[in-house]
Copies of this chain bind each other. A is one copy, B any other.
Amino acid sequence: MASATPATDFTDGEAAAMDVALAAALQGPRGANPLVGATILSPEGTSLFTGHHRGAGTPHAEADAIAQAQEAGADLSGCTMLVTLEPCNHVGRTGPCTEAIIDAGITSVVYAVDDPHDPAAGGARTLRAAGVQVRSGLAAEKALELNRRWFAAVAALRPFVTLHIAQTLDSRIAAEDGTSQWISSPESLADNHAIRRRIDAILVGTETVMVDNPRLSAREPDGTPSSAQPVRAVMGLRGIPANAAIRGDDGLAHHLPTREPKEALAALYEAGTRHVMVEGGSRILSAFLTAGLVDELIVYLAPTLLGSGTSALNGLGIGTLADAQRWEWDAADGGSVRSLGADLRLHLQPQHPLSSDPRNAAEPAQKGS
A interface residues, Cβ below 8 angstroms from B: 168-171, 174-177, 179-186, 189-190, 192-193, 212, 214-216, 219-224, 245, 286, 289-290, 299, 302-309, 311-329, 337, 341-342, 344, 346, 348, 351, 358-359, 361-369
Contact = CB atoms under 8 A, between A and B. Distances in A.
Contacts of A176: 318-320
6 contacts: A171-B311, A189-B366, A212-B369, A303-B329, A305-B327, A344-B346
A107 B80 CA distance: 68
Given A185-B359, A215-B369, A303 B327 contact: yes
Given A185-B358, A185-B359, A305-B324, 4 more contacts: A182-B359, A189-B369, A305-B316, A307-B313
B169 A299 contact: yes
A163 to B, nearest CB: 10
A369 B214 contact: yes
A99 B192 CA distance: 58
Nearest to A305: B325
Given A171-B169, A303-B329, A177 B320 contact: yes
Contact of A186 (B221, B223, B361): B361
Chain A's interface: helix, strand, loop or mixed, by majority? loop
A326 B304 contact: yes
A5 B214 CA distance: 56
Contacts of A224: 365
A140 to B, nearest CB: 26
A324 B342 contact: no
Indicate how many identical chains form the complex.
Answer: 2
Nearest to A177: B320
Contacts of A306: 316, 318, 321, 324-325
Contacts of A326: 303-304
B358 A186 contact: yes
A5 to B, nearest CB: 36
Nearest to A184: B359
Contacts of A367: 181
B363 A186 contact: yes
Contact of A320 (B179, B323, B346, B366): B179
Given A311-B170, A367-B181, A186 B362 contact: yes
Contacts of A362: 182, 186, 189
A359 B289 CA distance: 29
Nearest to A214: B369
Contacts of A318: 175-176, 305-309
A336 to B, nearest CB: 9
A305 B321 contact: no
Contacts of A190: 366
